[in-house]
Structure 1
Amino acid sequence: MVAYLFLFAAIGAEVFATSTLKATHGFTRLWPTVACLAGYVVSFAALSQAIRQVPVGVAYAIWSGLGTAAIVAIGATFLGEPVTPAKIAGIGLIVAGVVVLNVGGGVAH
């Protein structure tokens, strides 16, 4: 259970970092860059703790899949990015892949 708390912390930190990436203006603005890099450091540190108990393939699928879905939602909600049928289908496929890995991937409990 603790491993999944680390995994969700890793996802949150990664989503935070990716959300601040545009504000860095190509890493030319100091404080947004510091926030972005700190978010990625926290994310990878938490992910490294999660994979001590969760299989790395499953953990990475959850981390990247939920992170991607969250960033698409943030982009649509706050950045005015379009939500197309292709994006919706892609997110659906990612979620389906994560479910398949969890059901058949031998997740450690």
Structure 2
Amino acid sequence: MQTYLFLGIAILGEVIATSALKASAGFTQLVPSVIVALGYLVAFYFLSLTLKVMPVGIAYGVWSGAGIILVSGIGWALFGQRLDAWGAIGIGFILLGVLIVNLLSKTTMH
């Protein structure tokens, strides 16, 4: 269970950092730039802890897939970015893939 907590923290750190990239304006704004750096530091540290137990392909797939879904939601909610039908379908497939790996696959832990 601790492995999933670490993976969740890694995902959250990556989502915060990626979302702050837009506000950093190419690293010209100090506070958002610091948030980006700290967010990625947290993300990679906790991802490295996750990789002690979970195979890298599974951990990275879940990390990146969940990140895509969450950042897309933040883009919609905070930045007014819209997806067309095909974009929404594609993200739906990513969500389905993350769920299949976590709920059905036996390869998530060593």
TM-score, normalised by the number of residues in structure 2: 0.90
Over aligned residues, Cα RMSD in angstroms?
Answer: 1.5
Report which stretch shifted further, 97-106 or 54-63: 97-106
Q: Secondary structure at the match of 1:104?
A: coil
Q: Distance in 2 between matches of 1:99 and 1:55?
A: 16
Classify the secondary structure of the residue corresponding to 1:53: coil
Q: Shift of the alpha carbon at 1:92?
A: 1.4
Provide the residue aligned with 2:80 in structure 1.
Answer: 80
**1:1-109 map, 5 Å:** 1-102=1-102, 103-104=104-105, 106-108=107-109
Fraction of identical pairs, as percent: 43
Structure 2: runs of 5+ lacking an equivalent: none
More divergent stretch after superposition (64-73 vs 86-95): 86-95
Runs of 4+ in 1 over 3 A off after TM superposition: 99-102
Is residue 58–residue 105 contact of structure 1 (8 Å, CA) maintained in 2?
no
Cα gap change, 1:105/1:85 in structure 2, threshold over 3 Å: closer, same or farther?
farther
SS at match of 1:54: coil
TM-score, scaled to structure 1: 0.91
Task: Give, in whole Å, the separation in 1 of the partners of 2:98 and 2:71.
Answer: 16
* CA distance in structure 1 between the partners assigned to 2:91 and 2:53 by the alignment: 26
Task: Note the residue ranges of structure 1 that are not aligned, 5 or more in a row.
Answer: none
